[in-house]
Amino acid sequence: MWYLLVYSKNLGILLENYGKLKVNVTGLNLFFTKLLAVIMVGMLAVSALPGQASAQSLIRDTEIEETLRAYTNPFIRAAGLNTASVDLYLVNDRSLNAFVTRGQNIFIHTGIILEAKTPNQLKGVIAHEVGHISGGHLVRRSQSNKSAYGAMLIAAGIGLAAILAGEGQAGAAILAGSQQFGMIEVLAYSRITEASTDQAAARYLEATGQSGEGLVQFFEKFRYQEVLSNARRYPYFRGHPMSSDRIDKLREITSNSEYRDVKDTDEEIHALAMAKAKLIGFIDAPQTVFSKFPASDQSKPARYARAVANYRAADLVNALREIESLIAEEPENPYFYELKGQMLYESGKGGQAIAPLRKAVALKPSAPLLEIALGQALIEKDTTESIDEAVKHLKSALRKEHTTGFAWYQLSQGYDRKREPALARYAIAEQAFAVHDYQRARSFAVRAQEGLAQYPAQHRRANDIIVIAGTQLARKKNRRH
């Protein structure tokens, strides 16, 4: 099931990930306030070097996530990390970018997937990001940024001293260039870490018996980014400074690998082609999709993209015709049934959606998003039997992904229809807690506790929510004061 989730990289999160700075401007006169503003702009420019957008949406799709996981997990294991501890997120953004954040999170933009010509190219980028996590570069980057802030403040202080000493022109020049001191320090650090991460990526590719040529090809394709100004570069190359020396060293390493000539398998090539077709179908305007994949193209990726585009254009007849042709050729593919179920459900035919969604879950019982989609359709049917089945699937999905807020919301609807208000309130408390709405979470957990005596596990969890949410609310209140 295709989901879009709101994801904001606001300034607070940016500073949390790339170095915190607190400045008290109370009591400063107008001149000093303006000076501080100039310095702060420079500091934020350094903090924003990785190039993350201000607001993006996350995509949830089991098929694409599994394709990316198949590429990522071998590198995580090669780096000596736990695959369960590294989270992978797909960002709905056509810009070329991939990055990591604290907490071992990898973010892949849709743009970098669509730009990759081969699975090996995409694998190389992912191996590089795993290298950043393994190398602890986020913590070190935070230390580097603090050092850069210090360099800028020192330069700004010298400039200010010069102004106060009567050397206004010289002081202004130093102030104007103070940002550069920090920028130079951070960029120098970035180039060093990027080069070491290239080597780590090459090791992971070698350890997993894969070629490093894809990463070299990817960098070669964008070698010209080295000569562009930072503002004109793709976000990926603002956060991952490119240099010819880096490419040459990486080529030297990969060319000596015994796996240099290893090619992607037909299955990997097909999986990436299907993932890209699905992305294009959902992201591009339907007419653009039909232009890229005309009716004369009867390949599986083309029919997949057109099925999605027809569905988005409200042409259910042609959408079903395309997806049913794919099901006829691959009757054991759960994602074709999933898409058919989604088309029917979102076209107001929830009852007809149940059968294909049941089939998808039967073929892929380990996928929580498929169970959530089926649960949603069963709740809409609203019979005693369908509600019981929905609750079973939703609980199963939540055992695999406990923090999926939408699943908790659907489960609350199921409990409500079963006339179990305490469990319904508890589910809403979990849903609110999952999205960090601590006030609502605590409120519903308190209301749920009164009727949870016969459900000891839920009663204990509701109490945990009350305590944790209360702590978070108190911290938030203290920060405001």
| pLDDT, tens digit, 9 for 90 and up, residues 347-390 | 999 999 999 999 999 999 999 999 999 999 999 999 999 999 99
pLDDT at 10 over 50: no
Quote the pLDDT of residue 44: 32
Which comes out higher in pLDDT, residue 154 or 227?
154
Among 74-78, 168-172, 266-270, the least confident range? 168-172
Q: Tokens at residue 57, please?
A: 């949406």
pLDDT tens for 237-270 read 555 555 577 788 888 888 889 999 999 999 999 9
Closest listed residue to residue 180, CA positions, set 155, 201, 162: 155
Look-up of token digits 């700075």: 21
Q: What is the mean pLDDT of residues 278-285?
A: 96
pLDDT, residue 121, reads 94
Q: pLDDT tier at 7 (50, 70, 90 boundaries)?
A: very low
- Euclidean distance between CA atoms 213 and 206, whole angstroms: 11
Q: Is the pLDDT of residue 433 over 60?
A: yes
pLDDT score recorded for residue 219: 79
The residue that leads in pLDDT, 461 or 141, is 461
- Provide the pLDDT confidence category of residue 12 given band limits of 50, 70 and 90: very low
Q: Are 121 and 71 in contact (CB under 8 A)?
A: no
Q: Are 145 and 18 contacting, i.e. CB atoms less than 8 angstroms apart?
A: yes
| CB burial readout 260-299, b (16+ within 10 A) else e | eebebeeebeebbbbbbbbbbbbbbebeebbebbeeeeee
Domain ranges of the chain: 3-255
Q: Does residue 144 register a pLDDT over 50?
A: no
- 123-132, 163-172, 460-469 — which is least confidently predicted? 163-172
Most confident region among 9-18, 218-227, 266-275 by mean pLDDT: 266-275
Among candidates 63, 116, 113, 120, which has minimal Cα distance to 91?
113
How far apart CA 314 and CA 292 sit, in angstroms, is 19
State the pLDDT confidence band at 230, using cuts at 50, 70 and 90.
low
**Cβ atoms of 397 and 375 closer than 8 Å:** yes
pLDDT for 147 beyond 80? no
pLDDT above 60 for 208: yes
Is 34's pLDDT higher than 50? Answer: no
Higher local confidence (pLDDT), 175 or 49: 175
| Tokens 């007809």 found at | 352
At 38, the pLDDT band (50, 70, 90 cuts) reads very low
pLDDT tops 90 at residue 312: yes
CA distance 464 to 471: 11
User: pLDDT (tens digit, 9 = 90+) per residue, 88-120?
Assistant: 999 999 888 888 888 789 999 999 999 999 999
State the average pLDDT over residues 415-431: 97
Q: What is the pLDDT of residue 163?
A: 59
Is pLDDT above 90 for 192? no
Q: What average pLDDT does this structure show over 70-94? A: 94
Residue 156's pLDDT band, with cuts at 50, 70 and 90, is: low
- CB–CB of 76/82 below 8 Å? yes
Per-residue pLDDT at 54 exceeds 50: no
What rounded mean pLDDT belongs to the chain? 80
Residue 286: which pLDDT band, with cuts at 50, 70 and 90? very high
pLDDT of residue 47: 34
Q: What is the pLDDT of residue 193?
A: 76
Phi/psi of residue 5, nearest 5 degrees: -120, 140
Lowest pLDDT segment from 114-128, 244-258, 411-425: 244-258
- The average pLDDT across 318-331 equals 98
Query: Which is higher by pLDDT, 251 or 279?
Result: 279
